[in-house]
A and B are shown apart, each in its own frame.
Chain A
Amino acid sequence: MVSLNINGQSHEIDVSPDTPLLWALRDVLGMTGTKFGCGIAQCGACTVHVDGQPLRSCMLAVSAIGARKITTIEGIGATPVGAKVQKAWLDLEVVQCGYCQSGQIMSAAALLVSNPNPSDADIDAAMAGNICRCGTYVRIRAAIKKAANVA
Chain B
Amino acid sequence: MSSTSEPSDLSRRDLLKSSAAGLLLYSFHLPVAQAAAASFAPNAFIRIAGDGQITLVMPQVEMGQGVYTSIAMIMAEELDADFPKLMLEHAPPDEAHYANPMLGVQATGNSNSIRAFWKPLRTAGATTRAMLVAAAAQQWGVDPAACSTAASQVIHGASGRKLGYGALAARAAGLKPPANVPLKDPKKFTLIGKPLKRFDTPEKVNGKAVYGIDAMPPGVKFAALASCPTFGGKLGPVDDSKAKAIPGVRQVVVLDDLVAVVGDNQWAAQKGLAALAITWNDGANANVDSALIWNDIRQASTKKGATAKAIGDADKGLRDGDRLEAAYELPFLAHATMEPLNCTVHITPAGCEVWIGTQIMARVQSTVAKTLGLPPEKVTVHQHLLGGGFGRRLEPDMAVKAARIAQHVDGPVKVVYSREEDVQQDVYRPIYRHLFAASLKDAKINGWTHRITGSSVVARWLPAAYTHDVDFDAVDSAVDMPYGIPHFRVEYVRREPPAVPTGFWRGVGPNSNVFAIESFMDELARKAGKDPVDFRISLLDKTPRLKSAVQLAAQKSGWGQALPARTGRGICAQVAFASFIATVCEAEVDENGNVKLRRVLSVVDTGIAVNPDTVIAQIQGGLIFGLTAALHGEVTIAKGRVQQSNFNDYRMLRINDVPNIEVHVVKSGEAPGGIGEAGATAGPPALGNALYAATGIRLRRLPIDREVLAGRKQA
0 or 1 for each of B632-674: is its CB under 8 Å from A? (1 = yes): 0000000000000011100011111010110000000000000
Determine if B622 and A32 form an interchain contact, defined as CB atoms under 8 angstroms apart: no
Determine if B624 and A23 form an interchain contact, defined as CB atoms under 8 angstroms apart: no
0 or 1 for each of A109-123: is its CB under 8 Å from B? (1 = yes): 000000000000001
User: Which chain B residues border A131 with CB–CB below 8 Å?
Assistant: 338, 647, 652, 654
Chain B residues engaging chain A, CB cutoff 8 angstroms: 63-66, 197-198, 200-202, 204-211, 213-214, 216, 222, 247-248, 264-268, 270, 336-340, 385-390, 416, 418-419, 613-614, 617-618, 620-625, 628, 646-648, 652-656, 658, 660-661
Using A96-B617, A97-B337 as known contacts, list a sample of 12 further A-B pairs with CB atoms less than 8 Å apart, ordered by residue number in A.
A26-B214, A26-B266, A37-B338, A95-B201, A97-B64, A98-B204, A98-B387, A99-B211, A123-B655, A132-B655, A135-B620, A137-B624
Listed by A's residue number, 23 A-B pairs whose Cβ atoms lie within 8 Å are A15-B265, A16-B267, A26-B266, A30-B216, A31-B207, A34-B207, A36-B266, A37-B340, A38-B646, A86-B205, A86-B206, A95-B64, A96-B618, A96-B621, A97-B389, A98-B200, A128-B656, A133-B336, A133-B338, A134-B625, A135-B622, A137-B654, A139-B617
- Cα A18 to Cα B274 in complex, Å, equals 14
User: Which chain B residues border A40 with CB–CB below 8 Å?
Assistant: 419, 646-648
Determine if B267 and A102 form an interchain contact, defined as CB atoms under 8 angstroms apart: no
Determine if A97 and B338 form an interchain contact, defined as CB atoms under 8 angstroms apart: yes
User: Which chain B residues border A105 with CB–CB below 8 Å?
Assistant: 205
Assuming the contacts A35-B339, A138-B660, A138-B661, asked whether A101 and B388 have C-beta atoms less than 8 A apart, the reply is: no
Closest residue of A by beta carbon distance from B339: A99
Say what secondary structure dominates the interface of chain B: loop
- Cα A93 to Cα B194 in complex, Å, equals 14
Determine if A93 and B655 form an interchain contact, defined as CB atoms under 8 angstroms apart: no
- Cα A90 to Cα B65 in complex, Å, equals 16
Assuming the contacts A40-B648, A74-B206, A131-B652, asked whether A97 and B339 have C-beta atoms less than 8 A apart, the reply is: yes
Determine if A89 and B652 form an interchain contact, defined as CB atoms under 8 angstroms apart: no
Q: How far is the CB of B536 from chain A (nearest CB, A)?
A: 26
Determine if B206 and A33 form an interchain contact, defined as CB atoms under 8 angstroms apart: yes
Q: At the interface, yes or no: A69 with Cβ under 8 Å from chain B?
A: no
User: Which chain B residues border A146 with CB–CB below 8 Å?
Assistant: none
Determine if B625 and A133 form an interchain contact, defined as CB atoms under 8 angstroms apart: yes
Q: At the interface, yes or no: A10 with Cβ under 8 Å from chain B?
A: no
User: Which chain A residues border B656 with CB–CB below 8 Å?
Assistant: 124-125, 127-128
- Cα A89 to Cα B200 in complex, Å, equals 12
Assuming the contacts A27-B222, A90-B201, A93-B613, asked whether A19 and B206 have C-beta atoms less than 8 A apart, the reply is: no
Determine if B653 and A39 form an interchain contact, defined as CB atoms under 8 angstroms apart: no
Determine if B202 and A90 form an interchain contact, defined as CB atoms under 8 angstroms apart: yes
Give the interface size class of chain A.
Answer: 35 or more
Determine if A90 and B338 form an interchain contact, defined as CB atoms under 8 angstroms apart: no
Closest residue of B by beta carbon distance from A40: B646
Q: How far is the CB of A19 from chain B (nearest CB, A)?
A: 5
Determine if A93 and B661 form an interchain contact, defined as CB atoms under 8 angstroms apart: no
- Cα A139 to Cα B66 in complex, Å, equals 15
Contact with B620, one of A34, A42, A72, A139 (Cβ below 8 angstroms): A139
Determine if A133 and B655 form an interchain contact, defined as CB atoms under 8 angstroms apart: no
Assuming the contacts A97-B338, A133-B337, asked whether A36 and B652 have C-beta atoms less than 8 A apart, the reply is: no
Determine if A137 and B338 form an interchain contact, defined as CB atoms under 8 angstroms apart: no
Determine if B197 and A90 form an interchain contact, defined as CB atoms under 8 angstroms apart: yes
Assuming the contacts A42-B647, A72-B207, A96-B65, asked whether A15 and B622 have C-beta atoms less than 8 A apart, the reply is: no
Interface-central residue, B205, B267, B646, B648, by most chain A CB under 10 Å: B205
User: Which chain A residues border B270 with CB–CB below 8 Å?
Assistant: 39
- Cα A17 to Cα B353 in complex, Å, equals 33
Closest residue of B by beta carbon distance from A89: B205
- Cα A128 to Cα B654 in complex, Å, equals 6
Q: How far is the CB of A106 from chain B (nearest CB, A)?
A: 10
Determine if B338 and A135 form an interchain contact, defined as CB atoms under 8 angstroms apart: no
Determine if B658 and A138 form an interchain contact, defined as CB atoms under 8 angstroms apart: yes
Determine if A97 and B387 form an interchain contact, defined as CB atoms under 8 angstroms apart: yes
Q: At the interface, yes or no: A45 with Cβ under 8 Å from chain B?
A: yes
- Cα A53 to Cα B698 in complex, Å, equals 46
Q: Which 4 pairs of residues, A with B, have the shortest CB-CB distance?
A: A33-B207, A135-B624, A99-B387, A97-B64
User: Which chain A residues border B247 with CB–CB below 8 Å?
Assistant: 16
- Cα A23 to Cα B210 in complex, Å, equals 16
